[in-house]
Amino acid sequence: MTGYSPLEIWTIIIVMGIGTFFLRYSFLGLAGKRPLPAWALRYLRYTPVAVLPGLVAPLVIWPTATGGAFDPARLIAAVVTIAVGVLSRNTLAAILGGLAALYLGLWLIG
Amino acid sequence: MSSSNLSAAYWRGFRHGLPFLLVIVPFGVLFGVAGTEAGLNLAEVMGFSILVIAGASQFTAVQLMSDHAPVILVLLTSLAVNLRMAMYSASLAPHLGAASRWHKSLVAYFMVDQAYAMAIADYERAPEQSLAEKLAYYAGVCTPICPQWYVSTLAGAVLGAAIPAEFALDFAAPITFLAMLGPALRSFAHVAAAAVSVGVALALAFLPSGLGLLIAAVAAMGTGAQVELWMARGAAR
């Protein structure tokens, strides 16, 4: 890797490893026996639907593989994945539907 | 607690984790390929997957290192991508907080998006499960996912750049995340939260990687909670 010494590369890996572990351990480790208040639970209920869409949206609109250029095949695959997941309530079905749409789309529109 | 209950919980988790093999394997292979192409040696690529075990942040780090970003920026940005893990941790705490420190350390180490999403859905569906059953379910979900992350990374690093771009492996991660999202859109409040998350994340995409996502997530959680309150008041009227 140009510009990085092995020491710098391993510093990145080890600090990321320790930092990530403590982010994951944080609240679990501090948790008391008392349940969290109702308002906190109300917020936490929306954690997955608050994080996953924001994580994915830029990857769908500006895909890395195309250097950020809009790609209809990837957008269609994303829409199909969501639609199958909502209708079937089944993650595997959604993954298979999304991959099928992606490969069909790439084959048809390139 | 009978051991047959624990075994049932473990295997139920295993079955629920199994489908993710289909995306974990290509995702891991792709990380191995991307890391090798960026100039990392085998030990460094495997160091990422074993010590960090968080795909999105690993890709972020490798991407920034390819752009020759300063070490401190690589660290801050890729750790920011993992800030959502603190929210996962808080959301699992009411269910697993009473476990031993050793068990909680293992839960924390293996806390990938898929394990979290499956576990919280299962605990909310059946909150009366014992702590041991909840831990067994979690271990079950992780079994088909986490070891395969190491193996597929290794395969990708060894295969190198021999995999053609036509396989579109880059899109394995987005499809995984979206496939977990569909079944989670259970109410109008969930849909509203997801919409706000997408809108804010796209609007703030110019911010350093991870920061826009964090703001989007907080705004979306607030939206979900507020819509839930409005709907509860509407129903009570």
**Segment B168-205, tens digit of pLDDT:** 777 877 887 798 889 889 899 999 999 999 999 999 98
Minimal CA separation from A73 to chain B, in Å: 11
In this structure, the answer to whether residues A57 and A100 fall within a common structural domain is yes
In this structure, the answer to whether residues B137 and B104 fall within a common structural domain is yes
**Beta carbons within 8 Å of B175's beta carbon, 6+ residues apart:** A77, A78, A81, A95, A98, A99, A102, B23
Q: Does A101 touch chain B (CB under 8 A)?
A: no
Q: Which of B170, B197, B228 is the last residue of a domain?
A: B170
In this structure, the answer to whether residues A54 and A98 fall within a common structural domain is yes
In this structure, the answer to whether residues B164 and B195 fall within a common structural domain is no
Residue B77 pLDDT more than 60?
yes
Q: CA-CA distance, A57 to B98, in Å (whole number)?
A: 36
Which string of b and e fits B26-63 if b means at least 16 CB within 10 Å?
bbbbbbbbbbbebebeeebbbbbbebbbbbbbbbbbbb
Cβ pair B180:A99 closer than 8 A? no
Task: State which residues form the domain around A18.
Answer: 1-34
In this structure, the answer to whether residues B165 and B189 fall within a common structural domain is no
Domain count for chain B: 2
pLDDT in tens, A51-109: 889 888 988 998 877 888 899 999 999 999 999 999 998 887 898 899 999 999 999 98
* CB-closest option in B90, B220, B225 to A42: B225
Q: Helical H runs in A1-110?
A: 6-30, 38-44, 47-61, 72-88, 91-109
In this structure, the answer to whether residues A45 and A70 fall within a common structural domain is yes
- Choose among A101, A76, A75, A97: nearest CA to A85: A97
In this structure, the answer to whether residues A16 and A49 fall within a common structural domain is no
Q: CA-CA distance, A9 to A23, in Å (whole number)?
A: 21
Domain count for chain A: 2
Using an 8 Å Cβ cutoff, are B65 and B38 in contact?
Answer: yes
pTM, 2 dp = 0.76
Minimal CA separation from A10 to chain B, in Å: 7
In this structure, the answer to whether residues B63 and B141 fall within a common structural domain is yes
Range 18-57 of A in CB contact (< 8 A) with B: 19-21, 23-33, 35-36, 39-57
**Does residue B13 fall inside a structural domain?**
yes
Task: State which residues form the domain around B220.
Answer: 185-237
In this structure, the answer to whether residues B64 and B126 fall within a common structural domain is yes
